[in-house]
Structure 1
Amino acid sequence: MSDTQVEKELANQLVETAEQLFAAGVMSHSGHANLSARLGADRFMLTPGFVRGLRPEQVAVLGLDGQVSGGRLQSASSEIVAMHGIVYRARPHVGAVLHTHSRAATAFAVANRPLPCHTEPMLRFGQAEEVPVVPWGPRGSDVSVRGIAAILEERPTTSAVLLANHGLLVFGPTLTDAAHLLMAIEESAEAELDAAAIGGAVDFPAGALEALRASIARAAS
């Protein structure tokens, strides 16, 4: 497959992922979000900042240094480049990064409160720990990017972070993996808020993650 064909296919996958997230009801009313996918070792494809009705031709190609090498990046989207690039640089295995203002997860971000892992979908889709909060900094600023980098170093197994007073950033090996985790996190945030009204959520018993992994392995064998 030629480079052009690969880029076209990946752009289509980004469009499909955006549509999937809207269908799942995890997008904000405004439709503000940005999605990216790794393209080889040193490039990635990035959507504009609003993805309602996204078209493949709106997706840009960038280097990890933030330089545009294909398509056109909207000026309003330039601030988000470093936010995605730092994740790809820090986590070579990451193939996709998704940023949304998902309503319930953003409530935790606005409250500057980590989201605990109290639901099985979070365990199942790769976030077997709380989602930590990155201290606030202007979007795309050095302060914000350094904050993301610091959390990624401190929490090497986290696959998501809450951006204080802003929103949610989720990453995974593929767009599908990241989308599934994002939906699981939003569902968990909703359940956490609902549980607060009836006494609060309860921690998993010891060994829950290992038991779940064993169950998945048995089902796959």
Structure 2
Amino acid sequence: MADTNELQALRERVALACRVLGKLELTKSTYGHISVRVPGTDSMLIRARGPGESGIRFTAADDVIAVDFDGNKLDGRAGLDVPKEVFIHTGLYRARPEVQSVLHAHPSTVMMFTICDKPLLPLFGAYDPSCLRLLTEADAISQYPRSVLIANDELGRDLASVVRGRACMMRGHGITTCGPNIEEATLTAIKLNDLADINYRAYLLGNPRPISAEDIASFASLGDGGTDAAWRYYCRLVEEAF
């Protein structure tokens, strides 16, 4: 079980990732939340909602509360509540023990693709190979067909049954991403939004043409190189304004 210093460090990381989401406008105002599994427990740390919160763009460590896998608040100051859609997080943590962090946000460009039944196409490779991998690795992006609040355990289990990889596009709603740590779950959300943004612009210009299978294959052996450097970059973006 994590000690007090480790828990505080996790709260700081969750808060920082929330500020990155807000800075990049992947979600707005008070919408969205990121969580991390507390090692050795059936609980998580998650960005709180409620009248006392700071909003996604200005999330601080004391906006992050502990919640058990039944959705009960375990700590946190007055005015902070458990997000209504905490069951997105509990569902995934219960279904997939390897998942250590879960993110839910409302990027408008990705959401538009879910309501127009437009596919995200592999339009680029060398521009950003790590984004391309989301479209080429098996089951990386799932689709959830309902546009409802995941506000109970049953819906949380339903969503979790769909999310096989690291990202899910939720119809008329937003996205959920997950990963082995907070930073990777957040970077996946950023990459998914970048894919949607390029696709959206390409559809506006005309008829997007996917890159060739040969070019896609040339990136198959590449990993998500530069993850640490990319994360430092996004962290620097929020440092000046916070």
TM-score range, shorter-chain basis? Answer: 0.7 to 0.9
Contact 1:113 1:133 (C-alpha < 8 Å) held by counterparts: no
Structure 2 equivalent of residue 104 of structure 1: 109
Structure 1 equivalent of residue 210 of structure 2: 202
Which segments of 5 or more consecutive residues in structure 1 lack a partner in the other structure? Answer: none
Number of aligned residues? 212
CA RMSD of aligned residues (A): 3.0
Contact 1:61 1:69 (C-alpha < 8 Å) held by counterparts: yes
Report the Cα distance in structure 2 between the residues aligned to 1:218 and 1:122, rounded to whole angstroms: 11
Deviation by residue 1:70-94 (Cα, 9 ceiling, x = unmatched): 225834x441211111111112111
Structure 1 equivalent of residue 86 of structure 2: 81
Q: TM-score, normalised by structure 2?
A: 0.74
Contact 2:122 2:210 (C-alpha < 8 Å) held by counterparts: no
Contact 2:26 2:190 (C-alpha < 8 Å) held by counterparts: no
Report the Cα distance in structure 1 between the residues aligned to 2:168 and 2:26, rounded to whole angstroms: 17
Report the Cα distance in structure 2 between the residues aligned to 1:143 and 1:116, rounded to whole angstroms: 32
Seq. identity, %: 21
1:133 aligns with 2:140: no
Report the Cα distance in structure 1 between the residues aligned to 2:111 and 2:118, rounded to whole angstroms: 10
Contact 2:177 2:188 (C-alpha < 8 Å) held by counterparts: yes
Instruction: Please show how residues 94-173 of structure 1 align to structure 2 within 5 Å.
Output: 94-111=99-116, 115-116=120-121, 118-119=123-124, 120-124=129-133, 128=137, 131-136=141-146, 137-142=148-153, 144-152=155-163, 156=164, 158-173=165-180
Deviates more, 1:36-45 or 1:111-120: 111-120
Report the Cα distance in structure 2 between the residues aligned to 1:45 and 1:111, rounded to whole angstroms: 34
1:58 aligns with 2:63: yes
Q: TM-score, normalised by structure 1?
A: 0.81
Report the Cα distance in structure 2 between the residues aligned to 1:55 and 1:163, rounded to whole angstroms: 27
Report the Cα distance in structure 1 between the residues aligned to 2:99 and 2:225, rounded to whole angstroms: 26
Deviation of the 1:58 alpha carbon: 1.5
1:33 aligns with 2:32: yes
Partner-residue secondary structure (3-state), 1:68: coil
| Partner AA of 1:150 in structure 2 | S
> Would the alpha carbon gap of residues 171 and 2 (structure 1) be closer, same or farther in structure 2, given more than 3 Å must change?
closer
